[in-house]
């Protein structure tokens, strides 16, 4: 069995996460038992939710244990199998974590899934046709539920979730406005992803400026908002929201370091009779097949062409992760392991 490089969470951040909170080790891969498969990871997913799990505090999921491999999605291929449903060479997606190899109990539901790479690249199963894509689909279809012609806004517009969201929303006839960081990302959003407009939050760093920018970009008001960031962005959207607007609350990356994110005018939720709903996409697995079919069809038709930022080698994962938290990535952040 191969030697396995792994990255562990070595200590918990107090404030901003640092590379020193991680530790790289090498260990022996255990021999396979009946029903298990050995997976060689090709790509590792880096996602904002991982920062929240580094904290030892109340959350929607158990925190990342110290001294154990960092949790995370992976794609790769079966290298050895003692399970009848998996053959050597099968492309698979799972939650193998920050390591080069994983041993998986393939009979347990949800741990491993074979994927078709004939029309969808393997790496896309960690982004557009994976958890981020399904996240966009669920927030759009199950919470925002837009009608054709309505105006939708999304923060972190050029990331993995935003790239899928705009393709799904445009297919439903919506006007879509993104919020991203920097002119290059905003240009990419409008010229390649298909946003009708994109606002640079670095040019609008406060509530008054962002609210004015949203008023210009959304002259008919805002009917639906997909929230990934929080802070003054949510306050600005509330000021421009239409009656009965819906907010799909997916992430609050502005608060992952532990600082509170108070709302300036929560009474607007009542005044506008708004629906604000937080969700965790892993709690809705029954809808994943429907979402994945639509996302895969959009990729196959060329209507969803997300960009990827790829770091090389497991050792690059901590710095790539920290860079993603500060908006340095362009599209889905991955680590290539082979």
198: number of CA atoms within 13 Å, CB side? 25
Q: What is the pLDDT of residue 60?
A: 67
Mean predicted lDDT score pLDDT of the chain:
94
Question: Interior CA angle at 76 toward 70 and 82, to 5°?
Answer: 95
The Cα–Cα gap between 44 and 318 comes to 12
CA pair distance 305, 299, nearest whole angstrom: 6
Q: Give CA 142 to chain center in angstroms.
A: 17
| Model confidence pLDDT, tens digit, residues 72-115 | 999 999 999 999 999 999 999 999 999 999 999 998 888 999 99
Considering the domain 3-127+307-336 in this protein, what is its CATH number?
3.90.180.10
Q: Indicate the pLDDT class of residue 236, thresholds 50, 70 and 90.
A: very high
Q: Which two tokens stand for residue 125?
A: 């199963």
Q: Where are the domains positioned within the chain? A: 3-127+307-336, 131-282
**pLDDT digit string, tens, across residues 183-195:** 999 999 999 999 9
Q: How confident is the model at residue 314, as a pLDDT?
A: 98
Q: What CATH class is the domain 131-282?
A: alpha beta
> 316-330: buried (b, 16+ CB within 10 Å) or exposed (e) per residue?
bbbebbbbbbebebe
Q: What are phi and psi of 268, to 5 degrees?
A: -60, -30
């Amino acid at each position: 069995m191969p030697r396995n490089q792994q990255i562990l969470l070595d200590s918990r951040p107090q404030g901003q996460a640092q590379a020193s909170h991680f530790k790289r080790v090498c260990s022996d891969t255990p021999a396979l038992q009946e029903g298990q498969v050995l997976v060689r990871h090709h790509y590792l997913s880096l996602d904002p939710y991982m920062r929240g799990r580094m904290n030892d505090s109340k959350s929607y999921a158990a925190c990342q244990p110290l001294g154990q491999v960092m949790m995370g999605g992976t794609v790769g291929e079966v290298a050895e199998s003692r399970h009848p449903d998996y053959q050597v060479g099968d492309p698979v997606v799972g939650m193998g974590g920050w390591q080069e190899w994983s041993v998986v109990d393939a009979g347990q539901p949800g741990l491993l899934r074979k994927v078709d790479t004939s029309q969808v690249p393997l790496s896309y199963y960690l982004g557009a046709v994976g958890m981020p894509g399904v996240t966009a689909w669920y927030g759009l279809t199950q919470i925002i539920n837009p009608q054709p012609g309505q105006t939708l806004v999304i923060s972190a517009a050029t990331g993995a979730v935003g790239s899928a969201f705009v393709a799904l929303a445009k297919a439903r006839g919506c006007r879509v406005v993104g919020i991203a960081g920097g002119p290059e990302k905003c240009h990419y959003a409008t010229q390649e992803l298909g946003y009708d407009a994109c606002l640079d939050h670095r040019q609008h760093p406060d509530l008054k400026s962002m609210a004015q920018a949203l008023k210009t970009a959304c002259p008919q008001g805002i009917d639906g908002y997909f929230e990934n960031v929080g802070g003054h962005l949510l306050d600005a959207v509330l000021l421009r929201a239409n009656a009965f607007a819906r907010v799909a609350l997916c992430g609050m990356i502005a608060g992952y370091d532990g600082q509170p994110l108070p709302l300036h005018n929560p009474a607007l939720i009542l005044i506008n009779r708004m629906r604000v709903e937080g969700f965790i996409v892993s709690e809705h697995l029954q809808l994943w097949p429907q979402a994945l079919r639509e996302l895969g069809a959009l990729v196959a038709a060329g209507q969803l062409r997300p960009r990827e930022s790829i770091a090389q080698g497991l050792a690059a994962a901590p710095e790539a992760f920290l860079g993603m938290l500060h908006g340095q990535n362009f599209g889905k952040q991955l680590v290539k392991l082979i």
